C-alpha cells in the first residue's frame, strides 16, 4: 500500500481537526478491519490516517440526557424519550454482543452482533467502523474494475456476476449495504451523533444512508471532515423484536439477506411495526408494506407469511440473483416468528 501519515488524536475534537474536506485524502480508522483491506487493494490511498480507537467506546444508559439538537423526541411506542442506551463508536462489536442490557432490551441487535464475521473480527471491529464500512461488491473491491462508484461509466454487476447484488434500489450501482448492525439499529429507531468542525449533530440512522442516485461515491450523509462518535438507542416499551440472517455459510461471511423486526405491542396485538431488511439494497431497506400488514394484527404464522410477502413485493431480480427474493422473504418471516416466540419454520 502507499505510505501514509498516522495521526493519533487525544480526543474527538482533535480527531475532527486532523481530517479534511476532500474525499478519501484523509481517512479515519478504527479497528482497521475494512480500511486496511481497501488500502492494500489500492481502492483508497489516503495521505493521512486518523486513529479513532481512542474515542469513547463505552455502552451506558442514556438517562435523561437532553438531545444535542435540543428537540424533544418520542419513543416508538409514543412515550417521551428519556432513557435508552448510548454506545460509543469505538465500542467493539464483541462488547455489543455480550452486553446484558442490550440482550435484554434490544435482542435483535445482540443477534446481529453475535453473527458478524468471526470472534477475531468482533473483537477488533468497532461499532463506528461497522456502520461506516464500504460495500463488499467484488467489482468495487477489485482494482481492475473502474466501476461507477470509482468514477467509471458502468456498473459491472448489470451484465456480470450479480448473485449477491441488490434486489431493491433501482441502481444505477447495485451494491448491497454491508453493515449487519445498522439493520436492527434502524428497526429500533437509533440515532447517531456526528461531530464535525461546526460541532455535533444527531441524525436518525434511517436517514443516514444514501442511495447511489443520491451519493454515488459515498454511502452516507457524513462529510469527509465528520466522524460518528455515538449511537443512541431510544427506550423500549412493551415490545417484541428479533433479527434473522440467511448465510451461504454460517461464519466468516456476510449474510445473503437479513431482517430485523421491532414490534410495539398492545397486549396481543401489534400497535406499530418496523421491518428492515439487510443485504438486499444499497441501504438498509425498510419494508412499509410489511409494517402495514402487521399493524393492528395478532402474531401468528399466517400474518408473518403475509407480511414477508408484502416485504418483497417491490423486489426486482437481476440476471443471477432471483434466489435472493425468496431468501429475503424467508428472513422477514422468520424474524417475525422469532420475535413472536413462535416456532421458526
Ligand atoms: C471475513 C469477514 C466477515 C465479516 N462479516 C461481517 C458481517 O457478517 N456483518 C457485518 O456487519 N460486518 C462483517 N464484517 C465487517 C466487519 O464487521 C467490519 O470490517 C468492521 O466492523 C469494520 O470495523 P473497524 O472498526 O475495523 O472499521 P475500520 O476498518 O477502521 O473503518 C471502516 C470504515 O469506516 C470509517 N470509519 C471508522 N470509524 C469511523 C467513525 N467513527 N466515524 C466515521 N468513519 C469511520 C473508516 O474510514 C473506513 O472507511 C466482516 C469482515 C470480514 C473481514
Residue 111, ligand 1, Cβ within 6 A: no
Check: CB of residue 15 under 8 Å from CB of residue 88: no
Number of H helices, E strands in the chain: 11, 12
d(CA 312, CA 281): 11
Query: Other C-beta atoms within 10 Å of 276: how many?
Result: 29
Residue 16, ligand 1, Cβ within 6 A: no
Alpha carbon separation from 62 to 94, 131, 233, 282, 308 (Å, rounded):
20, 20, 8, 30, 33
d(CA 86, CA 61): 6
> Best substitution site from 91, 116, 203, 248 to test ligand 1's pocket, by max atoms within 8 Å of Cβ?
116
CB proximity list for 56: less than 8 A, separation 6 or greater: 12, 88, 89, 90, 229, 230
Tell me the CA–centroid distance for residue 183 and ligand 1, in Å: 15
Strand arrangement, sheet containing 48-51: 5-7, 48-51, 26-29
Check: CB of residue 135 under 8 Å from CB of residue 284: no
Residue 176, ligand 1, Cβ within 6 A: no
Check: CB of residue 331 under 8 Å from CB of residue 245: yes
pLDDT along the chain (345 residues), means of 10: 96 97 97 97 97 96 53 44 84 98 96 96 98 98 96 97 97 97 98 98 98 97 98 93 92 92 96 98 98 98 98 97 98 98 91
Q: Which of 264, 251, 308 is nearest to 120 (CA)?
A: 251
Atom number of ligand 1 nearest to Cα 126:
25
Q: Where are the beta strands (DSSP E) in 226-267?
A: 227-233, 239-246, 257-266
Residue 116, ligand 1, Cβ within 6 A: yes
Q: Which of 303, 302, 275 is nearest to 291 (CA)?
A: 275
Alpha carbon separation from 283 to 96, 104, 214, 321 (Å, rounded):
22, 27, 11, 17
Alpha carbon separation from 141 to 5, 137, 144, 214, 217 (Å, rounded):
23, 6, 9, 21, 13
Residue 30, ligand 1, Cβ within 6 A: yes
pLDDT of residue 63: 61
Atom number of ligand 1 nearest to Cα 30:
30
pTM of structure:
0.94
pLDDT of residue 236: 87
pLDDT of residue 320: 97
Query: Other C-beta atoms within 10 Å of 151: how many?
Result: 9
Residue 88, ligand 1, Cβ within 6 A: no
Residue 23, ligand 1, Cβ within 6 A: no
Amino acid at each position: 500500500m502507499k505510505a501514509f501519515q498516522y495521526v493519533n488524536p487525544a480526543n474527538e475534537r482533535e480527531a475532527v481537526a486532523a481530517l479534511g474536506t476532500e474525499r478519501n485524502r484523509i481517512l479515519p480508522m478504527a479497528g482497521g478491519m475494512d480500511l486496511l483491506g481497501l488500502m492494500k487493494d489500492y481502492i483508497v490511498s489516503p495521505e493521512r490516517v486518523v486513529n479513532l480507537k481512542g474515542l469513547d467506546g463505552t455502552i451506558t444508559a442514556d438517562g435523561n440526557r437532553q438531545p444535542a439538537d435540543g428537540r424533544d423526541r418520542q419513543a416508538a411506542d409514543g412515550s417521551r424519550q428519556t432513557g435508552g442506551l448510548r454506545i460509543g463508536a469505538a465500542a467493539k462489536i464483541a462488547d455489543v454482543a455480550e452486553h446484558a442490557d442490550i440482550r435484554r432490551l434490544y435482542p435483535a441487535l445482540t443477534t446481529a452482533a453475535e453473527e458478524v464475521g468471526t470472534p477475531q473480527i468482533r473483537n477488533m471491529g468497532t461499532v463506528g467502523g461497522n456502520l461506516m464500512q464500504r460495500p463488499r461488491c467484488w467489482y468495487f473491491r477489485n482494482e481492475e474494475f473502474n466501476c461507477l462508484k470509482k468514477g467509471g461509466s458502468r456498473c459491472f454487476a448489470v451484465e456480470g456476476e450479480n448473485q449477491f447484488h441488490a434486489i431493491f434500489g433501482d441502481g444505477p450501482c447495485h451494491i448491497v449495504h454491508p453493515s449487519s448492525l445498522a439493520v436492527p439499529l434502524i428497526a429500533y429507531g437509533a440515532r447517531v451523533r456526528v461531530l464535525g468542525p461546526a460541532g455535533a449533530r444527531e441524525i436518525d440512522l434511517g436517514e443516514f444512508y444514501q442511495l447511489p442516485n443520491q451519493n454515488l461515491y459515498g454511502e452516507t450523509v457524513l462529510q469527509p471532515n465528520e466522524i460518528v462518535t455515538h449511537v443512541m438507542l431510544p427506550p423500549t416499551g412493551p415490545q417484541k423484536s428479533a433479527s434473522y440472517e440467511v448465510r451461504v455459510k454460517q461464519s466468516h461471511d456476510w449474510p445473503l439477506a437479513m431482517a430485523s423486526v421491532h414490534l410495539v405491542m398492545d397486549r396481543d396485538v401489534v400497535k406499530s411495526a418496523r421491518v428492515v431488511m439487510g443485504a438486499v439494497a444499497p441501504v438498509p431497506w425498510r419494508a412499509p408494506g410489511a409494517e402495514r400488514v402487521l399493524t393492528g394484527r395478532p402474531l401468528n404464522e399466517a400474518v408473518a407469511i403475509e407480511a414477508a410477502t408484502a416485504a418483497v413485493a417491490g423486489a426486482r431480480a437481476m440476471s443471477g440473483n432471483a434466489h435472493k427474493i425468496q431468501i429475503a422473504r424467508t428472513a422477514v418471516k422468520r424474524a417475525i416468528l422469532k420475535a413472536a416466540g413462535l416456532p421458526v419454520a
